[in-house]
Amino acid sequence: MTSISSAHPERSAAAGGAESSDHSGTHVLSPKVLLSTAGALFGLTVLTVAVSLVDLGHLNIAVALGVATVKAILVAGWFMHLRYEGRFNLVVLVGCALFAMFMIGFIVFDTTEYQPDLRAHDAAQVQKK
């Protein structure tokens, strides 16, 4: 039976063994980076509120979603340290985001399928009155 230190050098290094691994542990960000990120998030929140007060028609939703996407990238990248992690975590995040967009696309596609029926029903209700 092999010992933990010979089979898994990274575990023995974490347990205080002499062997080292490629993983350096946690990544600590400076207060300047954290405050800059928080300031950017605050500024983007102000931008979202400002855009909601302006009537851009159908673009209001697109702009709000764009700002929300940038805010999500900031949170995932810096506050959650994804920017400093390996590629696997990035692949998982992008895969989940693509899956969510795919499912939302199917939902939106399905809801537009019934619009003619709803418009005909609404027109019939107006004529009855």
Quick: pLDDT tens for 38-59. Answer: 999 999 999 999 999 999 998 9
pLDDT at position 103: 93
Pair 67, 92 in one domain: no
Pair 48, 69 in one domain: yes
Report whether 65 contacts 100 (CB < 8 A): no
In a domain, 124, yes or no: no
Whether the per-residue pLDDT at 69 is higher than 50: the answer is yes
Pair 97, 76 in one domain: no
Q: How far is the C-alpha of 118 from the C-alpha of 111, rounded, in Å?
A: 10
Pair 47, 92 in one domain: no
Q: How far is the C-alpha of 27 from the C-alpha of 78, rounded, in Å?
A: 10
Quick: pLDDT tens for 14-47. Answer: 444 444 445 556 778 899 999 999 999 999 999 9
Pair 76, 106 in one domain: no
Look up the domain containing 100 and give its range: 86-117
Number of separate domains in the chain = 2
Tell me which DSSP letter residue 75 carries. I
Q: How far is the C-alpha of 41 from the C-alpha of 44, rounded, in Å?
A: 5
pLDDT at position 44: 97
Pair 79, 91 in one domain: no
Pair 60, 48 in one domain: yes
Pair 108, 75 in one domain: no
In a domain, 61, yes or no: yes
For the entire predicted model, the pTM comes to 0.60
